[in-house]
């Protein structure tokens, strides 16, 4: 078995080779990259990404990244395109064709048909004089001198560089379009990412009969009963019109009971904290998580635009919603 140190050295060399390749591509980005971005922005249809073999796998990822960041895109296999899938391409679409050699037989076969439809083509290739480059409207060159593969055969550095170039296009486009997290959420409704981006405070808060609240004139006994019954760890103090005036927490109750005051005559107004920390009912739940972390609190009251108490929730509610 080969020495472990030798294996680690091979791995380090791969990283070095691919980083070097990425730096070469970075240095080559100039006006053509801007032209490619402009072409995509002008596209009134869909962006179709195509490539064979490893380039196809990378192209699939580029199409997915574009689609999830505000640019309508999908992957088209060039071999399948020759057997009917070319029908997916319509006027107004744009093709990103990927081939490091620029001489992929399958891409070469479909390009004349694509250009006949007056579909603009952005080529990603390693060679400016390749067939692919000559048939494209804009060519993005990958000036890769060698693959990380010691045989210089397996696509390694070139595929990594293609992937990063695709990411650069996607990020440039989303920046220009001022793509926001809420836009991203619409393409990612599932999983933890979707939950964090789509769940609002209204979705998790206790309201109606489950909302802990007392009038400003309520007795200490009523306050204790309400906090215990609702189980959130606090109670909102309101006036007769539901306007939030203050908050009473478990800690406020303990301090009141430990004080030398006559607890029998205490009312909510006497022990509440005025101007409590709140969050708006239409706020995102992730914003509530940030507030609670920064303020080191476990419960939060929810108000509407008029300052009326409409809800409350605690860390357990955030946990149940799988937001923490």
Q: Is residue 46 a contact partner of residue 93, using CB atoms and an 8 Å limit?
A: yes
pLDDT of residue 264: 81
Same domain, 163 and 207: no
Q: Helix, strand or coil for residue 3?
A: coil
Look up residue 238 and give its DSSP letter: E
Q: Report the number of distinct structural domains present in the chain.
A: 2
Digit-coded pLDDT (tens) for 62-78: 999 999 888 999 999 99
Q: Is residue 307 a contact partner of residue 321, using CB atoms and an 8 Å limit?
A: no
Q: CATH no. for residue 124?
A: 3.40.50.10490
Flag whether pLDDT at 126 surpasses 90: yes
Distance, in Å, from the CA atom of 287 to the CA atom of 290, rounded to the nearest integer, reads 5
Q: CATH no. for residue 231?
A: 3.10.580.10
Same domain, 153 and 231: no
Same domain, 162 and 217: no
Same domain, 163 and 305: no
**How much is the average pLDDT of 166-171?**
96
HSE (CB half, 13 Å, CA atoms) of 159? 19
Distance, in Å, from the CA atom of 287 to the CA atom of 69, rounded to the nearest integer, reads 22
Match 């933890």 to its residue by tokens: 192
Angle at 76 between CA 40 and CA 148, to 5 degrees: 85
pLDDT of residue 323: 85
| CA distance readout (Å), 169 to 29, 95, 124, 163, 173 | 11, 14, 12, 10, 6
Nearest Cα to Cα of residue 149 among 59, 12, 17: 17
Distance, in Å, from the CA atom of 120 to the CA atom of 14, rounded to the nearest integer, reads 35
Highest mean pLDDT, choosing among 82-96, 144-158, 159-173: 159-173
250 lies in some domain? yes
Among 129, 163, 178, the domain-final residue is 178
The b-or-e profile of 6-40 (16+ CB within 10 A means b, else e) is eeeeeeeebeebbeebbebbeeeeeeebeebbebb
Distance, in Å, from the CA atom of 201 to the CA atom of 289, rounded to the nearest integer, reads 10
Alpha helices in 69-123 (DSSP H): 78-81, 105-116
150 lies in some domain? yes
Distance, in Å, from the CA atom of 33 to the CA atom of 142, rounded to the nearest integer, reads 12
**How much is the average pLDDT of 5-17?**
93
Same domain, 168 and 221: no
51 lies in some domain? yes
pLDDT of residue 1: 57
Report the 10 Å Cβ neighbour count for 72: 13
Same domain, 146 and 21: yes
Report the 10 Å Cβ neighbour count for 144: 24
**How much is the average pLDDT of 143-151?**
92
Same domain, 141 and 261: no
| Higher per-residue confidence, 81 vs 188 | 81
Same domain, 209 and 253: yes
133 lies in some domain? yes
Look up residue 149 and give its DSSP letter: S
* Domain carrying residue 293: 201-320
116 lies in some domain? yes
Same domain, 226 and 173: no
Same domain, 85 and 166: yes
Digit-coded pLDDT (tens) for 175-207: 999 887 777 767 766 667 777 778 899 999 999
Distance, in Å, from the CA atom of 169 to the CA atom of 96, rounded to the nearest integer, reads 11
Same domain, 169 and 242: no
Digit-coded pLDDT (tens) for 244-264: 999 999 888 888 888 777 778
Look up residue 76 and give its DSSP letter: -
Distance, in Å, from the CA atom of 181 to the CA atom of 188, rounded to the nearest integer, reads 10
Distance, in Å, from the CA atom of 144 to the CA atom of 11, rounded to the nearest integer, reads 19
93 lies in some domain? yes
Same domain, 171 and 214: no
135 lies in some domain? yes
191 lies in some domain? no
């Amino acid at each position: 078995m080969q020495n472990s140190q030798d294996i680690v050295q091979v791995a380090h060399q791969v990283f070095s080779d691919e980083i070097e390749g990425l730096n070469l591509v970075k240095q080559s980005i100039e006006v053509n990259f801007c032209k490619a971005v402009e072409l995509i922005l002008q596209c009134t249809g869909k962006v179709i990404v195509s490539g064979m073999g490893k380039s196809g796998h990378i192209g699939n990822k580029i199409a997915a990244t574009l689609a999830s960041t505000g640019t309508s895109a999908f992957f088209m296999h060039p071999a399948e395109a020759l057997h009917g899938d070319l029908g997916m391409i319509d006027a107004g679409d744009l093709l990103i064709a990927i081939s490091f050699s620029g001489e992929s037989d399958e891409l070469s076969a479909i390009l004349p048909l694509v250009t006949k439809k007056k579909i603009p083509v952005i080529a990603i290739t390693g060679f400016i004089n390749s067939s692919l480059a000559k048939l494209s409207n804009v060519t993005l060159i990958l000036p890769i001198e060698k693959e990380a593969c010691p045989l210089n055969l397996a696509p390694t550095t070139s595929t990594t560089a293609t992937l990063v170039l695709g990411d650069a296009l996607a990020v440039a486009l989303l920046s220009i379009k001022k793509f926001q997290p809420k836009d991203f959420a619409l393409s990612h409704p599932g999983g933890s990412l979707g939950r964090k981006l789509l769940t609002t405070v209204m979705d998790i808060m206790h309201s109606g009969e489950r909302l802990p609240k007392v009038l400003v004139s309520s007795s200490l006994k009523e306050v204790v009963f309400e906090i215990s019954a609702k189980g959130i760890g606090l109670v909102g103090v309101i006036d007769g019109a539901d306007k939030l005036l203050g908050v009473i927490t478990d800690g406020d109750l303990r301090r009141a009971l430990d004080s030398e005051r006559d607890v029998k005559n205490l009312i909510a107004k006497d022990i509440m904290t005025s101007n409590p920390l709140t969050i708006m009912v239409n706020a995102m739940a992730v914003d509530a998580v940030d507030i609670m972390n920064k303020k080191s609190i476990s419960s939060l009251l929810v108000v509407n635009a008029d300052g009326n108490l409409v809800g409350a929730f605690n860390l357990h509610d955030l946990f149940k919603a799988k937001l923490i």
